[in-house]
Structure formats: structure tokens, C-alpha cells
Chain A
Amino acid sequence: MTARVRLVLFLAAAAVIAAFFIAACTGLPRFGSEAHPYGDRAVAAALAHRTANVVSSVNFDLRAFDTLGEESILFTTVLGATLLLRRARDEREKQPVPERVLPTTRLFGAVLLPVTLVVGAYVIAHGQLSPGGGFQGGVVLATALHLAYVAADYRVLQRVRPLTVLDIADSLAAASFTIVGFAALIAGGAFLKNDLPLGTFNTITSGGTVPVLNAAVGIEVASGLIVLLAHFLDQAVEITDPDGQETT
């Protein structure tokens, strides 16, 4: 396919998409208007299941099946990266040398690491009540751990992240989402049906399966991202080619 054919093909496809997109946009409610047909229904459904954070209710209750798919995407990504970035036969590991860290950087990391860990755990635990949830809190937890690398060096980071434990936690958390779904299927008759006691509105245990699935996603995202970053960091810091040749 020549560049000219490609360009013509692109322009034709872009014109079709632009036409349909503009036609669809004319049917949207006006920007910033008071009427939110989907929002009103979602809020009513969330309140019926005593979940204070409507977004979490949509993610883990009304559209829990979508979230199962999203969670599986992340799990597969980590799995794929683990497979692709494993140490090849012609690569060898090199123990990274500790580098000098500015005292202010060290202080910054030492102060911020526990604060960030608490923030991450808080965001996960209160996903059903306030903005945030398993995904956001999980990413905060995963990045928080890497402050150890910024403030100290790679060997300290290796000590604070037990990769085998995290691998298992990642798989168990990913599996537990499906297990909760099947448990609901057996107990209530529908996959991922919110059939647990709903609790008192606006308390940490409210929402039935929402906090359970939220916690599962939090653990999966946190451990999955730490494992993912570990493979990238290993490639960048530890693994070298045997004779210093560039591999393509």
C-alpha cells in the first residue's frame, strides 16, 4: 500500500467518522445543562443500594461486569509484561551500585513514603463513600513504594517489595472478583448481583459487595503495578547484555 493510497483511505474514513460524530453530538444534552437522565437514574440506583459514592456504585454494582473486564485487562497486561521482560538467556544481571542521594531528597522520601501509603490505603478503604476507590488508591500505593527508590537506592526498593508475595496477591485478588461474582450467582441467581447485607448508608461497611470488590481491585492494582514497574525497573537498572552489544 503506497502512502497516497493510505492517505486517501484515511481521509475517507475520517470524513465518515467526522460526519457521524457531528450528527451524534447534535443529539447530546447542552453542555452544563440541568437535565442528566443517566445521572438521575444512577443516583437513585446507588441510594437504593446504600452506596454513597455513585461512581463506585456504577463501577462495582451497576456495571460490575464491565469492571471485571477492565480488571482482567490490567491482569493480562502484567502477565504479558512478565512474559516479555523475563531475563533472556543472553542477558545477565548486574547488581546496581548505590548512588549518592541528596540529604533533602532522602528526607523528602522518608517523610512522604508513610504519608503516601496511608493516603493510598485511605482512598481504597473509602472508595464506596468518597471520590476514589480501588483503582486510584492502588496506583497511589504502587507509586508510593517507589519513593524508596527515589530517596534511597534500588536495593532498598527490592527489600520493601516482596515480588513473590505480590505476584500471588495480584492473582488472588483478580480471581476473587470472579469468585464474588459466582458466589452471587449461586446465592442470588445472577452473576455479580449485589446480594450482601447493605449496611447503614454512609458507613465504611455500606454498599453490600461494593467494598468487597473495591478492595479486591485495590489489592490487584497495587500489586499488579508494583510487579509491572519491577520488570521495567529490572530492565532499566539491573539487566545488561553480556558483551555490551546493542540488541535490536
Chain B
Amino acid sequence: MNEWLIGVAVVFVAAAATVAVLCRDPARQAVVLAVLGLGLSVLFAVLQAPDVALSQLAVGTALTPLLILLTVRKVNRPTADDRRDGEESGG
């Protein structure tokens, strides 16, 4: 049973990581990265490493995607005249 859980988690992490690499749009990449972080934290928890799972959950799922989304929002900002607020303001 445990081997199956580990196997499913590993396959999920590999798939999510591949999607994150193949994704070209940084905003979408951030969302995929959050999903990947969730998968990784499940994998760590299944492998009996709850401390690392907690770190991964907090940093990989919440913090890093948030920082990426904020950076994308700042870099992609259209000129002051035609600002379209709230369209990509994730978080």
C-alpha cells in the first residue's frame, strides 16, 4: 500500500515538473509550480519526512508562486494609461 502511494506521488511530481518546464507563460508556470510543490510535500509526507513536507508546503506552494506572480505583474505592467487592473493579480 505504502509503495503504491510513493509510486503515485513520484509519478505525479515528475509529471507536474515536466509541465512546469514545458509551460512558457510565467504566470501559468507559477500556478503549476504551486501544484508541483503540493505534490512534493505529499511525497515527503509519504516518505516520512514531515519537517521537509511542511517547509515545502509553505515555501513551494505559497511563497514562491506568490513572489513569481508579483514579479510577473510588475514586469508585465502595461503603460499607465491603459492599465487593466486585477487581470493577473493573483494571490
List the interface of chain A (C-beta within 8 A of B).
Answer: 32, 53, 55-56, 99, 123, 131-133, 135-136, 139-140, 142-143, 146, 149-150, 225, 228-229, 232-233, 235-236, 240-241, 243-246
- Tell me whether B59 is interfacial, beta carbon within 8 Å: yes
A241 to B63 alpha-carbon distance, docked (Å): 26
Residues of A within 8 A of B85 (CB): 99
Within 8 Å by CB of B63, from A133, A139, A233, A245, lies A139
Q: Are B54 and A225 in contact (CB under 8 A)?
A: no
**Can you list 12 contacts pairing A with B, beta carbon distance less than 8 Å?**
A123-B54, A132-B51, A136-B51, A139-B62, A143-B62, A143-B63, A146-B66, A229-B67, A232-B70, A235-B70, A236-B73, A236-B89
A122 to B7 alpha-carbon distance, docked (Å): 32
Q: Are B80 and A241 in contact (CB under 8 A)?
A: yes
A77 to B86 alpha-carbon distance, docked (Å): 28
Q: Are A229 and B66 in contact (CB under 8 A)?
A: yes
Q: Are A132 and B54 in contact (CB under 8 A)?
A: yes
Residues of B within 8 A of A139 (CB): 55, 58-59, 62-63
A140 to B71 alpha-carbon distance, docked (Å): 21
Q: Are A225 and B79 in contact (CB under 8 A)?
A: no
Q: How far is the CB of A18 from chain B (nearest CB, A)?
A: 18
Among B15-70, those with CB < 8 Å from A are: 50-51, 53-55, 58-59, 62-63, 66-67, 70
Q: Are B51 and A236 in contact (CB under 8 A)?
A: no
A229 to B71 alpha-carbon distance, docked (Å): 11
Task: Name 11 extra pairs, CB < 8 A, besides A135-B55, A232-B70.
Answer: A99-B85, A99-B86, A140-B58, A143-B63, A232-B71, A232-B74, A236-B71, A241-B80, A244-B81, A246-B77, A246-B79
Q: Are B51 and A131 in contact (CB under 8 A)?
A: yes
Chain B contact-residue range equals: 20 to 34
A232 to B59 alpha-carbon distance, docked (Å): 16
- Interface of A (DSSP majority class): helix
- Closest 10 CB pairs between A and B? A244-B80, A131-B50, A139-B58, A136-B54, A244-B79, A55-B51, A232-B70, A236-B70, A236-B73, A236-B74
Q: How far is the CB of A174 from chain B (nearest CB, A)?
A: 18
Residues of A within 8 A of B62 (CB): 139, 143
A245 to B79 alpha-carbon distance, docked (Å): 6
Residues of A within 8 A of B80 (CB): 240-241, 243-244
A233 to B71 alpha-carbon distance, docked (Å): 9
A192 to B77 alpha-carbon distance, docked (Å): 47
Q: How far is the CB of B38 from chain A (nearest CB, A)?
A: 15
Q: How far is the CB of A129 from chain B (nearest CB, A)?
A: 12
Q: Are A133 and B51 in contact (CB under 8 A)?
A: yes
Residues of A within 8 A of B70 (CB): 229, 232-233, 235-236
Q: Are A150 and B67 in contact (CB under 8 A)?
A: no
Residues of B within 8 A of A142 (CB): 63
Residues of A within 8 A of B53 (CB): 131
- Which of B3, B51, B79, B89 counts the most chain A CB atoms within 10 A? B51
A32 to B6 alpha-carbon distance, docked (Å): 11
Residues of B within 8 A of A55 (CB): 51
Q: How far is the CB of A185 from chain B (nearest CB, A)?
A: 28
A64 to B68 alpha-carbon distance, docked (Å): 31
